[in-house]
């Protein structure tokens, strides 16, 4: 690969050309190259990939894949249908509604099911699952957008800031409420209330609140029931982002993190993170789908048909911004049918068991500390701070990653650099986690010498 730094090094270029002239007679005069796409994939693409499916991938949040998800994705590509409205592919729409109700039942989201008064839709990512439109309409449309305020915590995924910006909310009206180390970084209902009251006093209009179950930096969980009460009191839209940890909540012992979800207006989670579903797949449920449909629907002549006119069907084009959409439901359906609830719970629990063991290993080594209590399969840890060597943990991550034997990422929590160990890649087994810990210890030993 042409690394720009290397390429801009003049003397290297000159040496390279000199070598070429020296060897020019060794090459066949006329090129004998034949196009071979797979060989190019092996030679040119694979060296440039970060291997997200490697069992030694412990960075960010994983992108789970499975044979069932892969086969479902192949069927989706094979059919290549576009189900923008019911008539354009009835089975695609019907299956999506069924699968969203299946997932919703696994998570006990009774207020969000088609079989009740709610409903769900599949998007590609959390960012696409934008739900702000309802609140904008209720507050009198798009006028005075500069007065609207959006609330989240300083741990909320940056995707929500982007969405608010796209909606025209000025960045100065995005309140990133500070979280605290001592409580483990959840969004505090009291601080939320203070921020809302302050804004109202200044003539601003609170609009939308995002609470997270399983934040990206540390896996923190907002107290949904209490946040929901504040949102209801001020009649604001409450969205729950459970992108990563939502999958975990299919297990009865973790479901309590969703207590109070009935107070939310919408919730999203990503099966492409921790539910064995190949990318991309994000479930979004809305308690009152009509509000979303009213803000996003249109009725162009070329799409008019009797089914839509009857209002007895779902036209998913009215649940999203784009028109074209993939038949994502097929792969989620194959994953759920192939594995079933019991196996899916087993998958989540085995990742959590590996994370627990990793956490215990860290705890046994007095040079290290667990920085945030673990809730799911993410462990935030680091070498105990040493005044004389502030960036020790940053150096440790660099040493681990440059070894090529594992890949980890970091977060900064209350100004402290922490190493994140996210366990959940489908192929990861206990021996990979043990080898990771050995690698971490070895690299730490060299750094501390
Ligand atoms: N929300 C949370 C809590 C996340 O951790 C992430 C990604 O890691 C996202 C949202 C955005 O995810 P995606 O773009 O895959 O939907």
pLDDT of residue 129: 65
Coil vs helix vs strand at 122: strand
Burial class (CB in 10 A: 0-12, 13-18, 19+), 441: middle
Burial string for 51-83 (b: 16+ CB within 10 Å, else e) reads: eeebbbbbbebbbbbbebbbbbbeebeeeeeeb
**Domain residue ranges of the chain, discontinuous segments joined by +:** 68-336, 342-448
Would you say 231 and 238 are in contact if contact means Cβ atoms under 8 Å apart? yes
Q: Which residue has the tokens 């909540």?
A: 249
pLDDT tens for the 449 residues of the chain, in order: 455 555 567 788 999 999 999 999 999 999 988 889 999 999 999 999 999 999 999 999 999 999 999 999 999 999 999 999 999 999 999 999 999 999 999 999 999 999 999 999 999 987 766 555 555 555 555 667 788 899 999 999 988 888 888 888 889 999 999 999 888 899 999 999 999 999 999 999 999 999 999 999 999 999 999 999 999 999 999 999 999 999 999 999 999 999 999 999 999 999 999 999 999 999 999 999 999 898 889 899 999 999 999 999 999 999 998 899 999 999 999 999 999 999 999 999 999 999 999 999 999 999 999 999 999 999 999 999 765 566 999 999 999 999 999 999 999 998 899 999 999 999 999 999 999 999 999 999 999 88
Coil vs helix vs strand at 143: coil
pLDDT of residue 136: 56
pLDDT of residue 389: 65
pLDDT of residue 428: 97
Indicate if ligand 1 lies below 6 Å from the C-beta of 157: yes
DSSP classification of residue 250: G
430, 436, 442, 443: CA torsion to nearest 10:
-170
Instruction: Using the mean position of ligand 1's atoms as its centre, give its distance from the Cα of residue 125 in Å.
Output: 7
Ranges of H-type helices in 222-328:
224-233, 271-274, 289-296, 306-310
Nearest-CA neighbor of 322 among 124, 43, 181, 96?
Answer: 124
Instruction: Using the mean position of ligand 1's atoms as its centre, give its distance from the Cα of residue 239 in Å.
Output: 14
Instruction: Using the mean position of ligand 1's atoms as its centre, give its distance from the Cα of residue 162 in Å.
Output: 12
Q: What is the CA radius of gyration of the chain?
A: 25
As its CATH architecture, domain 342-448 has: Alpha-Beta Complex (3.90)
Closest atom of ligand 1 to CA, residue 156:
3
pLDDT of residue 85: 97
What ipTM does the predicted assembly reach? 0.97
CATH of the structural domain 68-336, one choice from 3.40.50.150, 3.40.50.300, 3.40.640.10, 3.20.20.80: 3.40.640.10
Q: Round to whole Å and give the CA distance between 271 and 249.
A: 12
Structure tokens of 110? 């009774």
Measure the N-to-C terminal CA separation of the chain; round to a whole number of Å.
35
Indicate if ligand 1 lies below 6 Å from the C-beta of 278: no
Instruction: Using the mean position of ligand 1's atoms as its centre, give its distance from the Cα of residue 149 in Å.
Output: 22
């Amino acid at each position: 690969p042409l690394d720009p730094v290397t390429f801009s090094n003049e003397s290297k270029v000159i040496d390279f050309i000199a070598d070429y002239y020296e060897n020019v007679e060794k090459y066949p005069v006329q090129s004998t190259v034949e196009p071979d796409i797979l060989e190019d994939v092996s030679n040119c693409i694979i060296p440039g990939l970060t291997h997200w499916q490697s069992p030694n991938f412990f960075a960010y949040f994983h992108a789970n894949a499975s044979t069932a998800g892969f086969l479902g994705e192949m069927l989706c590509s094979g059919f290549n249908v576009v189900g923008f409205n019911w008539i354009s592919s009835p089975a695609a729409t019907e299956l999506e509604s069924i699968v969203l109700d299946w997932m919703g039942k696994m998570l006990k989201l009774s207020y969000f099911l088609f079989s009740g008064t709610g409903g769900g839709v599949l998007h590609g990512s959390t960012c696409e699952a934008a739900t702000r439109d309802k609140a904008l309409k209720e507050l009198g449309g798009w006028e005075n957008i500069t007065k609207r305020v959006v609330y989240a915590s300083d741990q909320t995924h940056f995707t929500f800031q982007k969405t608010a910006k796209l909606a025209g909310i000025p960045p100065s009206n995005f309140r990133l409420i500070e979280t605290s180390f001592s409580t483990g970084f959840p969004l505090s209902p009291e601080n939320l209330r203070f921020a809302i009251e302050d804004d109202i006093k200044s003539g601003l209009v609170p609009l939308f609140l995002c609470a997270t179950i399983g934040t990206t930096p540390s896996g923190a969980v907002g107290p949904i029931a209490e946040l929901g009460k504040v949102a209801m009191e001020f009649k604001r839209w409450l969205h729950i982002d459970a992108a990563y940890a939502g999958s975990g909540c299919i297990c009865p012992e973790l479901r309590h993190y969703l207590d109070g979800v009935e107070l939310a207006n919408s919730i999203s989670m990503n099966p492409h993170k921790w539910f064995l579903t190949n990318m991309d797949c994000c479930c979004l449920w809305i308690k009152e789908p009509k509000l979303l449909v009213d803000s996003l629907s249109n009725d162009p002549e070329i799409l008019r048909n009797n089914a839509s006119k009857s209002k007895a069907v779902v036209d998913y084009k009215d649940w999203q911004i784009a028109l074209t959409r993939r038949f994502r439901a097929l792969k989620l359906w194959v994953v759920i049918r192939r594995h079933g609830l019991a196996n899916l719970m087993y998958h989540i629990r085995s990742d959590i068991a590996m994370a627990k063991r990793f956490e215990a290993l860290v705890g046994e080594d007095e040079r290290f500390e667990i920085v945030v209590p673990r809730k799911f399969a993410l462990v935030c840890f680091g070498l105990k701070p040493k005044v004389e060597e502030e960036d020790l943990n940053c150096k440790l991550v660099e040493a681990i990653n440059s070894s090529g034997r594992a890949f980890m990422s970091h977060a900064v929590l209350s100004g402290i650099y922490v190493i994140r160990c996210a366990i959940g890649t489908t192929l990861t087994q206990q021996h990979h986690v043990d080898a990771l810990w050995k690698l971490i210890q070895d690299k730490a030993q060299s750094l501390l010498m």
